[in-house]
Amino acid sequence: MKILAIETTGKYGSAAVIDETGLIFSAASNEEMNHLKGMMSLIDEALSEAGIKKSELTHIAASVGPGSFTGIRIGVVTARVMAQMLDLPCVSVSSLEAMAERVLDAAVSAGSLYVVPVINARRHQTYAGVWEAEFTSDYEKKTLCPVMEEKQYMIEDLLDALSARITEKEAEASGRVQSLKAMLGNAVYFTGDGIDAYEEMIRNSLPEGLYVFAGEDLRYQHAESVARIALRKAVSGDTLTYSGLMPEYMRLAEAEQRLRAGTLSDRIRKPVKL
């Protein structure tokens, strides 16, 4: 199994190649929003680093969003057309899940219970999801279990929901644990460019010491974690044909929102009646 994974939903594009043993090679751009121009070179670089010819690939995976609409499309189109031409199946990976995957080790080391990737969607909007970090029975492997749906949240609503969860945990523990902080220290592990946009709001709404921010080295989307999730999905047969690989925008186009809400400008919708 040799999977090519593409990640273009954030500021920096990247490509990675993973084999069935989990060995990964990747290449990332250090130029912002250079996805269209740079993508083929990144793919070529990742493949040659791995010593894999494109004819040896078995799957094409893409991070399908949420994120920058334009970025999502570049990655998805590239994956779809490569899969069509090389006659390969596709694997669809959520950008948020891949971001959570990327920080899982760091979150567990920090003692965090919740991993929360937050993508800035401007004007207090975010795309986010909440995962609980769990150890499997052998205490060796760590896994992520989704506890809040991946969708568009107002940052205030997301923080309220997280506060409520912490309060709930606190109640569960009351009487048994002396110090809340001892039990829930670093409970929430934030990652993503939502930190850059909403750091102050997070600091103002959650108790100090109950959250951690991912370092900048791990904070943004990267194809390596897309590849790791893609490998698990491919092994379990969770694949698609190229035409089934679709973007996950999580938001309608603005004009479509207005059309559905009936607030599209009348001048545009109805021609002048004579």
Partner 1 sequence: MKDGRFLTLGIETSCDETAASVVADGRFVMSNVISSQIDIHTAYGGVVPEIASRKHLECINDVIGKALDDACVSAGEIDLIGVTYGPGLVGALLIGVAAAKAMAYACDIPLVGVNHMHGHIAANYLEHKDLEPPFMALIVSGGHTEIVNVPEYNKCEKLGGTRDDAAGEAFDKVARVIGLGYPGGPKIDRAAKEGDRESIAFKRVYLEQGSLDFSFSGLKTQALNYLNQERQAGREINVDNVAASFQEAVVEVIADKAVMAAEKYGQKRIVMAGGVASNSRLRTLMEEKAGEKGIDVLKPSPVLCTDNGAMIASAAYYAYRAGAKPDLELDAVPGLEF
Instruction: Please state the closest distance from residue 124 (CB atom) to partner 1, in A.
Output: 21
3-class secondary-structure state, position 35: helix
Give the nearer residue to partner 1 in terms of CB position, either 40 or 235. 40
Q: Please give the sequence-ordered ranges of beta strands (E in DSSP) within the chain, or none if there are none.
A: 2-7, 14-19, 24-28, 59-63, 90-93, 114-120, 125-135, 142-154, 188-191, 211-213
CB of 15 to partner 1, least distance (A): 11
Both tokens of residue 212? 């951690």
Q: How far is CA 16 from CA 38, 154, 244, in A?
A: 14, 32, 21
Minimum distance from CB of 54 to partner 1 (Å)?
Answer: 7
Q: Return residues touching partner 1 (CB under 8 A).
A: 36-41, 43-44, 54, 69-70, 73-74, 76-82, 84-86, 242-243, 246-247, 249, 253-256, 259, 264, 267-269, 271-274
**Least distance from C-beta 203 to partner 1, angstroms?**
34
Tell me how far CA of residue 163 lies from CA of 100, 190, 211, in angstroms: 19, 14, 11
Q: Please report the DSSP string for 120-145 in residue order.
A: E-STTEEEEEEEEEEE-TTSS-EEEE
Nearer to partner 1, 47 or 118 (CB): 47
Residue 78 or 112 having the CB closest to partner 1? 78
Name the H helices within 63-94.
69-86
Residue 143 or 243 with smaller CB distance to partner 1? 243
User: CB 133 → partner 1: shortest distance, Å?
Assistant: 34
For partner 1, the closer CB: 68 or 112? 68
